[in-house]
Amino acid sequence: MDEVQQEFLEIVAQVKTHLEFRRALGVSFVETTAAGSRQAAVQPAAPTMEKIPLSQSIGLAAVREELGDCIRCKLHKGRKNIVFGEGDPNAALVFVGEGPGQEEDLQGRPFVGAAGQLLTDIIVKGMQLKREDVYICNIVKCRPPGNRNPDPDEVEACEPFLIKQLRAINPQIIIGLGNVAVKTLLKTKEGITSLRGNWKTYQGIPLIPTFHPAYLLRTPSDKKLVWDDIKKVIAEMKKLRDENEP
């Protein structure tokens, strides 16, 4: 098999994976170029990019070091591991969730349970990226008991480290996953149902809220809405890439 045939087969395999992912999300149609253009025309423009001053940032390793064996809030009592976050320290795209679950607590890694598998599918099959190309973290770094929502005092204690993490990474886009993450990041009481899919900014960085993968496991019929949100991110990343090309 020559190089061209090999490349063709790889493209076919990628398209097949992508279509399978769309079908899994309940998307049973494929947009034509014209429909895609119409959609782009009616979508609101993403917020202007305004980077966090790099002078205010320290490296990701330094943030982890500063966090240390943290006991700043009561969540430290029940945790097995701090789940700091993982991925590319210079990622263009960061996912921010709520907090570690049981599997994440055991492994010390974010989004590795069933919801994590769905997030990985969104990244790999939907966005055609590798998980290690993005950065994944949470509002709180220790597991709330019984997977309850983190209390306000716990969020308050942990949030400075999220802010420093995001400053260190300085991504182009943030995806906020679920009610707790989005309310914390945007300092709003508005719920995820009305916020999702609408561009916001966090510290000058474009942020799009969407449903948490754990919610999608309970409500698979809303997967299509998340795919709509992800398509906006894909389009914005392409626009940013095109703008940066010489």
Classify residue 23 by burial, with Cβ atoms within 10 Å: 0-12, 13-18, 19+. Answer: exposed
Q: With CB under 6 A, what is the number of residues at the site for ligand SF4?
A: 14
Cα–Cα distance, 184 to 196 (Å, whole number):
14
- CB 124, min distance to ligand SF4, A: 28
By CB under 6 A, the residues from 4 to 63 that bind ligand SF4 are: none
Classify residue 95 by burial, with Cβ atoms within 10 Å: 0-12, 13-18, 19+. Answer: buried
- CB 128, min distance to ligand SF4, A: 33
Per rule CB under 6 A, is residue 157 in the interface with ligand SF4?
yes
Q: Read off the tokens for 116.
A: 């994590």
Per rule CB under 6 A, is residue 226 in the interface with ligand SF4?
no
- At 162, the amino acid letter reads L
Per rule CB under 6 A, is residue 104 in the interface with ligand SF4?
no
Nearer CB in complex with ligand SF4: 152/246: 152
By CB under 6 A, the residues from 109 to 148 that bind ligand SF4 are: 140-142
For residues 167 to 196, the per-residue mask of contacts with ligand SF4, x marking binding by CB under 6 A and - elsewhere, is: ------------------------------
Distances in Å between the Cα of 92 and the Cα atoms of 139, 168, 242 are 19, 12, 14
